[in-house]
Amino acid sequence: MLKEKYPKEYVLRTLFCEIENILNSRPLTHVPIDSYDSDPIRPIDLLVGPDGSSLQFVDTDDRDLCVLHMWRATQRLADIFWKNGRQSTDSTF
Protein backbone atom coordinates (compact mmCIF):
# COMPACT_ATOMS: atom_id res chain seq x y z
CA MET A 1 0.00 0.00 0.00
CA LEU A 2 2.75 2.48 0.85
CA LYS A 3 4.96 1.79 -2.20
CA GLU A 4 8.42 2.39 -0.72
CA LYS A 5 7.38 5.30 1.51
CA TYR A 6 8.32 5.45 5.16
CA PRO A 7 5.59 7.21 7.13
CA LYS A 8 6.17 8.73 10.54
CA GLU A 9 5.28 6.69 13.61
CA TYR A 10 2.29 8.88 14.47
CA VAL A 11 0.93 8.39 10.95
CA LEU A 12 1.16 4.63 11.37
CA ARG A 13 -0.48 4.80 14.79
CA THR A 14 -3.35 6.83 13.36
CA LEU A 15 -3.63 4.47 10.40
CA PHE A 16 -3.78 1.45 12.70
CA CYS A 17 -6.50 3.15 14.75
CA GLU A 18 -8.48 3.76 11.56
CA ILE A 19 -8.00 0.14 10.49
CA GLU A 20 -9.08 -0.99 13.95
CA ASN A 21 -12.22 1.12 13.60
CA ILE A 22 -12.97 -0.35 10.16
CA LEU A 23 -12.57 -3.91 11.41
CA ASN A 24 -14.55 -3.33 14.61
CA SER A 25 -17.42 -1.76 12.66
CA ARG A 26 -17.97 -4.71 10.33
CA PRO A 27 -20.96 -6.89 11.23
CA LEU A 28 -20.40 -10.31 12.79
CA THR A 29 -23.95 -11.51 12.19
CA HIS A 30 -26.44 -11.43 9.34
CA VAL A 31 -27.17 -7.94 8.04
CA PRO A 32 -30.94 -7.61 7.82
CA ILE A 33 -32.57 -6.41 4.63
CA ASP A 34 -35.80 -5.45 6.36
CA SER A 35 -35.66 -2.40 8.64
CA TYR A 36 -37.88 -4.19 11.16
CA ASP A 37 -35.16 -6.74 11.96
CA SER A 38 -32.63 -6.11 14.69
CA ASP A 39 -29.27 -4.54 13.93
CA PRO A 40 -26.32 -6.87 13.33
CA ILE A 41 -23.78 -7.38 16.10
CA ARG A 42 -20.40 -5.74 15.49
CA PRO A 43 -17.19 -6.07 17.53
CA ILE A 44 -17.46 -2.40 18.54
CA ASP A 45 -20.81 -3.17 20.19
CA LEU A 46 -19.06 -5.67 22.44
CA LEU A 47 -16.36 -3.13 23.33
CA VAL A 48 -18.39 0.01 24.00
CA GLY A 49 -21.97 -1.18 24.08
CA PRO A 50 -24.70 -0.47 21.57
CA ASP A 51 -25.32 3.07 22.84
CA GLY A 52 -21.62 4.04 22.69
CA SER A 53 -21.72 5.30 26.26
CA SER A 54 -18.04 4.62 26.92
CA LEU A 55 -16.82 6.71 23.97
CA GLN A 56 -15.08 9.90 25.04
CA PHE A 57 -14.39 12.87 22.81
CA VAL A 58 -11.58 15.37 23.25
CA ASP A 59 -11.97 19.14 22.86
CA THR A 60 -9.77 20.62 20.15
CA ASP A 61 -8.64 24.14 19.29
CA ASP A 62 -6.88 25.97 16.44
CA ARG A 63 -3.48 24.49 17.33
CA ASP A 64 -4.77 21.11 16.21
CA LEU A 65 -5.27 22.33 12.63
CA CYS A 66 -1.58 21.84 11.80
CA VAL A 67 -2.03 18.07 11.89
CA LEU A 68 -4.90 18.19 9.40
CA HIS A 69 -2.56 17.44 6.49
CA MET A 70 -1.19 14.25 8.07
CA TRP A 71 -4.67 13.21 9.16
CA ARG A 72 -5.89 13.47 5.58
CA ALA A 73 -2.95 11.36 4.40
CA THR A 74 -3.79 8.76 7.03
CA GLN A 75 -7.43 8.80 5.96
CA ARG A 76 -6.31 8.14 2.40
CA LEU A 77 -4.32 5.10 3.54
CA ALA A 78 -7.33 3.87 5.52
CA ASP A 79 -9.49 4.28 2.40
CA ILE A 80 -7.00 2.19 0.42
CA PHE A 81 -7.08 -0.48 3.14
CA TRP A 82 -10.88 -0.47 3.10
CA LYS A 83 -11.08 -0.76 -0.70
CA ASN A 84 -8.53 -3.60 -0.77
CA GLY A 85 -10.43 -5.44 1.98
CA ARG A 86 -13.73 -5.02 0.18
CA GLN A 87 -12.28 -6.30 -3.09
CA SER A 88 -10.87 -9.42 -1.42
CA THR A 89 -14.18 -10.23 0.33
CA ASP A 90 -16.31 -9.43 -2.73
CA SER A 91 -14.32 -11.87 -4.87
CA THR A 92 -15.00 -14.76 -2.47
CA PHE A 93 -18.77 -14.61 -2.97
Give pLDDT tens digits for 9-29: 888 888 899 898 888 888 888
pLDDT band at 88 (very low <50, low <70, confident <90, very high): low
Burial class (CB in 10 A: 0-12, 13-18, 19+), 14: buried
For the chain, domain boundaries: 9-27+40-52+66-87
CA-nearest of 70, 85, 81 to 18 is: 81
72, 89, 76: which is closest to 2 by C-alpha? 76
Confidence of residue 93 (pLDDT cuts 50, 70, 90): very low
CB 22 within 8 A of CB 82: yes
0.85 cut: is pTM over it? no
Whole-number Å distance between alpha carbons of 79 and 82: 5
Q: Please tell me the distance from the alpha carbon of residue 52 to that of residue 49, in angstroms, as a whole number.
A: 5
